[in-house]
Amino acid sequence: MRYELTNYEWFAIKPMLPNKSRGVPRVNDRRVLNGIFWVLRSGAPWRDLPENFGPYTTCYNRFIRWRRAGVWATLMSALAGAHDAAVPMIDISIVRVHQHGACITRNRRQSMGRSRGGLTSKIHAVVESGSMLLADRGYDADWIRELAMKKGAWANIPPKSNRSDPICFSPYLYRARNQVERFFNRIKQCRRVATRYDRLAGNYLAFIQLASIRLWLAARYESAP
């Protein structure tokens, strides 16, 4: 079945999954995760989950329960923390909100906003970590530069046209920023990320985390000896 975890991916994340030492044994973790990743990649509704992944309610409930427990965020942080890089890059991507997720009246705090194309959500992403921060001029703010400095990084951000005080900026180093743009292109191959179907911001963020987990797993596999 497409989108399922490879053996390498499964053995990499299995030790980081929550342990359940008491009570009724948990339904097969790998099968459930494969079902969740199938929904992530295909963009299909939970009810359309193929039968070989088990009841869709099991996959959905596990997705929600582990999202609330912070499992997806912990997995992403653990995989990202194992990769040491020198240059962080930050950017934003705007995603259209599908009509199924566009319940703006009841969910005004669910990270939705209106634009010319209708309801949208914004994804801010930081790629890598290290001694220099690359970002476009939309992030040219003193508080961002100060925060980067506190983290031990130099903010190489092009200045806005209305900036009065001079800053140090390297156009040559700035060229490397397209890595974060490639990150957005890759996670948007997952249809649950490319279009927001979820009313709750927490659920949509969980799908972004899951897409990032697959990217980190792929990066670890490519760098493995």
Q: How far is CA 220 from the centre of its chain?
A: 17
150-162 b/e (C-beta count within 10 Å ≥ 16 → b): eeebbbbbbeeee
Predicted pLDDT of residue 169: 80
Is the distance from CB of 51 to CB of 93 less than 8 angstroms? no
pLDDT of res. 144: 83
β-pair partners for 135: 90
Round to whole Å and give the CA distance between 158 and 137.
5
Q: Which residues contact 135 (CB under 8 A, 6 or more apart)?
A: 89, 90, 91, 144, 155, 157, 177
Amino acid 149: pLDDT? 82
Counting Cβ atoms within 10 Å, is residue 142 exposed (0-12), middle (13-18) or buried (19+)? exposed
Q: What is the pLDDT of residue 87?
A: 45
Return the pLDDT at 223.
55
- Confidence (pLDDT) at 224: 55
HSE of 42, CA atoms in CB hemisphere, 13 A: 17
Which pTM was predicted?
Answer: 0.70
pLDDT at 10 (0 to 100): 92
pLDDT by residue, tens only, the chain of 225 residues: 678 999 999 998 999 898 866 666 777 899 999 999 999 999 999 999 999 999 999 999 999 999 999 999 988 888 776 655 544 544 555 555 655 555 555 555 666 666 665 666 656 556 554 766 777 787 888 888 888 788 777 778 888 888 888 788 877 776 666 677 777 788 888 888 888 888 788 888 899 889 888 888 877 656 555
